[in-house]
Amino acid sequence: MHRSGRYSRALHKDNGEESKGRESKLLKAGIQMEVFIWYDSAALIGTIVAWLKNDMPYTPAFLAKQIYLIHNRAWNKVEEG
């Protein structure tokens, strides 16, 4: 069952146009929004767990910046198609 619209709306209530654009870009790349959310969430949680298990070798600000850069890189690849 395709439910990506529901997940997209739940995550982006305040910015409908941006969420539609992102969902459209994912769909054009052949990626379902729901699967992308699962993948992205698992990557974020896994990174934080590994950071904690390794006694936080980076500052929270540095780790946040790294996650931001990685996430934006992924979106840029989707946009490039």
Q: In angstroms, rounded to a whole number, what is the distance separating the alpha carbons of residues 5 and 32?
A: 10
Task: Look up residue 58 and give its DSSP letter.
Answer: S
Distance CA(12)–CA(40), nearest Å, equals 15
Write out pLDDT tens, residues 31-81.
999 999 999 999 999 999 999 999 999 999 999 999 999 988 877 777 776
Confidence of residue 15 (pLDDT cuts 50, 70, 90): low
Three-class secondary structure of residue 2 per DSSP = coil
Query: What is the C-alpha to C-alpha distance for residues 28 and 18, in angstroms, rounded to an integer?
Result: 15
Higher-confidence position of 11 and 32:
32
Single pTM value for the model: 0.66
Per-residue pLDDT, 22: 78
